[in-house]
A and B are shown apart, each in its own frame.
Chain A
Amino acid sequence: MTIAAEARPADAVASAPAPFFAARDVHAYYGESYIVQGVDFEVREKEIVALLGRNGAGKTSTLRTIARAAQPSLKSGEIWLGGMPLHRMSTHEAARAGVQLVPEDRRIIPGLTVEQNLIVAQVAERPGWPLAQIYEHFPRLAERRRQDAITMSGGEQQMLAVARALARDLKLLLLDEPYEGLAPTIVREIESILQEVKRIGITTIIVEQNAIAALQLADRAVILDMGTVAYQGPAQEVLDNADLRHQYLAI
């Protein structure tokens, strides 16, 4: 019985190349409320996927489920990353397996300096970029390394949140509303950082209210509606198809 269950992913490899990341019929609940209702999609290695949908479509919940947060709680379904079963892991185990969530509101830890926020990311097994490399890419953070991180501007905090994810040996980057609450000039700055993340080839799922900005960055789009996948296809197609955008994104 166990042998059969464990042989299954190997069989999948034999028949077709296993996707780098796959969410298979994922169902998750916030307490009693049924939020993620059978989400099913794949992401190829080095691909950037924009996860879109209206407010309440279940975007953030899907990201949190993939990162194996305690809430929403995963009730059924499978989540695979590079052959590893994320669905069987706790939050910190999923992070060690290479999932890095840059959450909504950035969640910079107050009372800690910029550098301490980065050090905390490197405590657990498999740290990523060393501090020197991070500072080389983010000179602004280097300037402010001794500053209480929470006193920085929103854009700088977002920069730190992305840098903190790069401080870990990550396989999958989950970005939740990276442009939220930022002035247009700052948005462009973060955009160029994310372009660089794309150039480095980090597999990414991005959730963003500013769908156009996300689609311009992404290779593919996955649109959620009522907790399930309503559409998936090339990002360019969503940019070109006004009906589709209007129907699911109200833009």
Chain B
Amino acid sequence: MTINSIFLMVLTGLQLGAIYALIALGLTLIFGTLGVVNFAHGALYLIAAYCAVFAAQSLGFGLAIVLVPIILFIFGIAMERGLIRFFYQRPHTDQILVTFGIAIVVEEVLKWMFGANNIPFALPSWGAGQVLFYGLGANVPAAIPGIRVPMPFLEGFAFFPAWRLLLIIVTAVTIFALFALLQFTRFGLVLRAGMRDPEMLRFLGVNVTIRFSILFGIGAMIAGIAGVFGGPVTQVSPTVGMALLVPSFLVVVIGGMGSMLGALVAALLLGMASSFTTGFAAAVGDPTAKMALTALQQIVVYLVAVVVLLIRPRGLFGKKGIFE
């Protein structure tokens, strides 16, 4: 196990965690404010990824990056106004059933329209290469194209796909923008107050409903960003929504229901756990250990969940009384 492979495992962990984080943030944002467990959040990712494929083909990737989040924002508001709002006063099980229903309908409609298989989602030419990281005194052949980043602790040099690095950066920027919106704007102040006591805000003349609706739109928009940037990495097929929803929901539970910071930490934790098990499985020589690690790779995410929830039943940053 070299420093280079550990470095790459960390980057891979960040990239896996980034997709989980984007989806889990939307989930926890909607749960924390509206109290709705949105099992259709994976379906929003799915819609975003399919929209992105066709927008990229017809209008170019640059425009797809701008358009898809906007489309999802509008779609999110339409979904909240058209269906979800009728379930605020109903039990969580009803909410889960209806949002799960939406997820199944979306999945089947996409299957019917575009088939059950992966559809190709080609990276734009500007995002297709590899980024080269090099250590002190590394002798990098001048012929290697692309971006070069010095990383003093590396031995020689290492490559990481540029697109996956971009995904990490976009996620960081999105998370920062969301935190800034909630912490430093008046809109965010009202939302935070509305999460704590929506009725009191109404007594103060605030139309909480419309703000929560916009917030649902923002949650969907984040799924949109995840779909455009994550689509080429996760692939685009009708089942990918559900495949991502399960670990993302685990992220929310591990982080503590309704806690955004918790979701972030948990997303990183799961990303790293996945990446490191895969990395170790590839690195060990002993065949029995390799087999065990390969098997562990399939369940490591759930194993982390079990351990965390045994020690902290409300999750890392969970508060008493939420979803109980």
Cross-chain contact A67 with B203 (CB below 8 angstroms): yes
- In the complex, the chain B residue whose C-beta lies closest to that of A90 is B202
Among A103, A111, A125, contact of B200 (Cβ-Cβ < 8 Å): A103
Pairwise interchain contact B189-A168, C-beta atoms closer than 8 A: no
Judged by a CB distance under 8 angstroms, whether B205 is at the interface is yes
Tell me the bound Cα distance from A90 to B197 in angstroms: 17
Of the candidates B199, B206, B207, the one whose C-beta lies within 8 Å of that of A120 is B206
Q: Which B residues are CB-close (under 8 A) to A100?
A: 203
| Bound Cα distance A90, B209 (Å) | 11
Within 8 A of B (CB), among A84-139: 90-92, 95-96, 100-101, 103, 107, 109-112, 116-117, 119-121, 123-126
Q: Does B201 make an interface contact (CB < 8 A)?
A: yes
- Please measure, in the bound complex, the distance between the C-alpha atom of A248 and the C-alpha atom of B160, giving whole angstroms: 80
Q: Which residues of B contact A70 (CB under 8 A)?
A: 199
Tell whether, in the assembled complex, residue A110 and residue B196 are in contact, meaning their CB atoms are under 8 Å apart: yes
Interface size on B, residues (CB 8 A): 17
B189 and A107 contact, CB distance less than 8 A: no
Please state if B204 and A111 are interface contacts (CB–CB under 8 Å): no
Contact of B190 with A123 in the complex, beta carbons under 8 Å: yes
User: Nearest Cβ in chain B — how far from A101, in angstroms?
Assistant: 5
Over the window 7-31 of chain A, the binary record of Cβ atoms lying under 8 Å from chain B Cβ atoms (1 yes, 0 no) is 0000000000000000000000000
Q: How large is the interface on A (under 10, 10 to 19, 20 to 34, 35 or more residues)?
A: 20 to 34
B206 partner residues in chain A, CB cutoff 8 A: 92, 95, 120, 123-124
* CB within 8 Å for A95 and B199 given contacts A109-B193, A120-B190, A123-B186: no
A130 to chain B, nearest CB (A): 16
B208 cross-chain contacts in A, Cβ below 8 A: 92
Judge whether B205 and A109 touch: CB under 8 Å. Answer: no
B59 CB to nearest chain A CB (Å):
38
Contacts of B201 in A (CB 8 A): 92, 120
Q: Least Cβ distance of B57 to chain A in Å? A: 44
Selected from A92, A111, A126, the residue in CB contact (under 8 A) with B196 is A111
Q: Which residues of B contact A95 (CB under 8 A)?
A: 202-206
- Minimum CB–CB distance for B315 against chain A, Å: 19
Query: At the interface, yes or no: B85 with Cβ under 8 Å from chain A?
Result: no
A117 to B206, CA, bound (A): 13
Distance (whole angstroms) from the CB of A92 to the closest CB of chain B: 5
CB pair A112–B200 under 8 Å, yes or no, is no
Does B192 interact with chain A (Cβ within 8 Å)? yes
* A69 interfacial contact with B, CB 8 Å: yes
CB nearest neighbor in B for A169:
B205
| Given A107-B197, A107-B200: A112 and B189 interface contact (C-beta under 8 Å) | yes
In the complex, what distance in Å separates the CA atom of A110 from the CA atom of B193?
8
| CB < 8 Å neighbour of B199 from A69, A96, A126 | A69
The interface residues of chain A lying within 8 Å CB-to-CB of B193 are 109, 112, 116-117, 120
CB distance from B76 to the nearest CB of A (A): 22
A164 within 8 A of B: yes
Q: How far is the CB of B98 from chain A (nearest CB, A)?
A: 21
Residue of A nearest to B195 (CB): A111
Question: Which residues of B sit under 8 angstroms from A101, Cβ to Cβ?
Answer: 203
The reply to whether A92 and B202 contact each other, CB–CB distance below 8 Å, is yes
Residue from the set B190, B197, B202 with the largest chain A CB neighbour count within 10 Å? B202
Known interface pairs A70-B199, A107-B197. Does A120 touch B205 (Cβ–Cβ under 8 Å)?
no
Query: Which residues of B196-228 have CB atoms within 8 Å of chain A's CB atoms?
Result: 196-197, 199-208
Asked if B199 and A124 make an inter-chain contact with CB atoms under 8 angstroms apart, the answer reads no
Across-interface contacts of A103 in B (CB, < 8 A): 200, 203
CB neighbours (8 Å) of B189 from chain A are 112, 116, 119-120
Q: Are B204 and A120 in contact (CB under 8 A)?
A: yes
Tell whether, in the assembled complex, residue B192 and residue A121 are in contact, meaning their CB atoms are under 8 Å apart: no
* Interface contact A124-B196, CB-CB below 8 Å: no
Could you pull out 15 A-B pairs where Cβ atoms are within 8 angstroms? A92-B202, A92-B207, A92-B208, A95-B205, A96-B205, A107-B197, A107-B199, A107-B203, A109-B193, A119-B189, A121-B204, A121-B205, A124-B204, A124-B205, A168-B204
Which 8 pairs show the lowest CB-CB distances between chains A and B? A124-B205, A95-B205, A91-B202, A107-B200, A96-B205, A92-B202, A121-B204, A120-B193
Supply 19 further A-B pairs (C-beta < 8 A) apart from A92-B205, A95-B204, A124-B204: A67-B203, A69-B203, A91-B199, A92-B207, A95-B203, A95-B205, A96-B205, A100-B203, A111-B196, A112-B192, A116-B189, A120-B204, A120-B206, A121-B205, A123-B186, A123-B190, A123-B206, A124-B206, A168-B204
